[in-house]
Amino acid sequence: MRTLLVSSLFALPLLACAADPVEEYPLDEVLEEGKQDGFNYPTKFGPLFTNTWQYGLLDPASKLRTPAWTFFLDGPASVTITSRQAPTDDPWVTDTVVYLYEQRDAGTWRRIAKSDASGGFGAVTRELDAGAYRVIVKGMRGDAEGEFMVRLGCEGAGCQTEQCLFGDSFYELRQLQHGVTTTYKQGELTVASPLTAAEQAQIIAAVQVSALGEEVTTIEEAFAAVDQGEVNRFGVYDSLAGRSFVAFEYGAGDSSYGAFFEGEAPARVAEIGDGEIRECTATPRTCILGRTYREAAYMPDLTLVSRRSITKPTQVNRPFLKDQILIAVAQSSYEASTLAEAFAAVDQGELVYSTYRHTDGRELVAIEYGAGDNSYGAFFAANSTTMVASIQDGDLYGCTAW
């Protein structure tokens, strides 16, 4: 009996220790660019924008265990890096550790802060001076897999208030495989390539960026002004706001020039000059609704207030709801001019009506339905027919709710 009692007493602290969270594979105090050494080789996710929720990913199968972001300060500032769960009711990643590094020499980063490895989602707050900084978020466990969110809060004179969605280097933008923007080459164009009127106008505007093409006014003159008579076309997708951009890049005197455009609009939203991105008006913006219809209920600062099913026109008894339904149904291939036609068009004759409230007081509604077993619809400002996002195949496009 005495032996059993002693054994039990010794077992108690062992159980308590086993329950304490322990971080696997802590990162080194000093990291160097280009050293591929497991957890100490970060995967670049691009800029960490100020006051903007961004998405991170852990994927051990793809050797993506330490996603890293970079930010710069022009002077002293107080910064807070916060991580949180992905916008879902069943997050795969449930605890993270946040590391903060400062660049001391070219290619060398020294750790200056780390969140407590006590379970849950990590956060770091520090008073910093001007310089370049790297944020790395990793899982407590080495096999952690899934998405999470991260945000840089910044207050002070050193915070960068003017930020470009594409960063400051076209070369670095093209190298990014993860992060806010995804860039992919769509082809090499010549004067013989089939081009729409919108593409011709954009190429002319892009070629006018270089000194060699300032006087260009026709598509023939544009291709004649660039090296080898070739213009590279790149698609650029902004995952935070669901926006699509196009970049036309070319050589001019063996240097890289060009411009970015949103959709088919002819106005430049950024320029490429000698490889650098400049004159940028495309700023990073996180849609408060997330990237998909399902994410909205779990986004930071947004609360799902109510949700109900509508199956017949007599249930449409709120102001603006009829017009909202007709606009939402038009987001698929269906056409409806009456409520009866709208209910007849959607799967099972069912529409889902949801209301949301943001911490800043904004109220929004969503009309969602099935169309061929896919999710379609739209979000609106409450008591308005102003659409703030379109739902297509479950994803959100054209978000204007920031």
383 and 310 inside one domain: yes
Q: CB neighbours (10 Å) of residue 16?
A: 9
Q: How many domains does the chain have?
A: 3
Instruction: Give the pLDDT confidence score for residue 254 in this predicted structure.
Output: 85
CATH code of the domain in which 106 resides: 2.60.120.380
Last residue of a domain, one of 155, 186, 206: 155
Last residue of a domain, one of 155, 178, 213: 155
Dist. CA 130–CA 159, nearest whole Å? 9
Structural domain contains residue 5: no
Instruction: Give the pLDDT confidence score for residue 118 in this predicted structure.
Output: 76
Instruction: Give the pLDDT confidence score for residue 6 in this predicted structure.
Output: 34
What string of DSSP letters covers 279-328? Answer: S--------TT-SBTGGGGGSTTEEEEEEEEE-SGGG--STTHHHHHHHH
What string of DSSP letters covers 247-258? Answer: EEEEEETTEEEE
Q: Which residues contact 221 (CB under 8 A, 6 or more apart)?
A: 204, 213, 215
Q: Which domain holds residue 186?
A: 170-278
Structural domain contains residue 327: yes
181 and 103 inside one domain: no
313 and 262 inside one domain: no
Structural domain contains residue 99: yes
Q: Which residues contact 1 (CB under 8 A, 6 or more apart)?
A: none
305 and 369 inside one domain: yes
- The model carries a pTM of 0.86
Nearest CA among 325, 332, 331 for reference residue 365: 325
Nearest CA among 240, 231, 241, 239 for reference residue 186: 231
Which H helix or E strand runs over 344?
Answer: helix 339-345
338 and 274 inside one domain: no
Structural domain contains residue 186: yes
Instruction: Give the pLDDT confidence score for residue 317 in this predicted structure.
Output: 87
49 and 150 inside one domain: yes
369 and 261 inside one domain: no
Instruction: Give the pLDDT confidence score for residue 41 in this predicted structure.
Output: 77
CB 259 within 8 A of CB 206: yes
Report, as ranges of residue numbers, the positions in the chain whose pLDDT lies below 70.
1-20, 34-40
Nearest CA among 220, 292, 212, 219 for reference residue 255: 212
Structural domain contains residue 15: no
Instruction: Give the pLDDT confidence score for residue 35 in this predicted structure.
Output: 56
Structural domain contains residue 142: yes
122 and 45 inside one domain: yes
> How far is C-alpha 34 from the geometric centre of its chain's CA atoms?
25
Dist. CA 288–CA 300, nearest whole Å? 8
Dist. CA 77–CA 90, nearest whole Å? 35
Structural domain contains residue 128: yes
108 and 196 inside one domain: no
Structural domain contains residue 233: yes
75 and 123 inside one domain: yes
185 and 109 inside one domain: no
What pairing do the DSSP bridges indicate for beta strands 146-155 and 96-105?
A: unpaired
pLDDT digits (tens, 9 = 90+) for 101-130: 999 988 899 999 999 877 789 899 999 999
Last residue of a domain, one of 278, 310, 340: 278
262 and 303 inside one domain: no
pLDDT digits (tens, 9 = 90+) for 286-329: 999 999 999 999 999 999 999 999 999 999 988 899 999 999 99
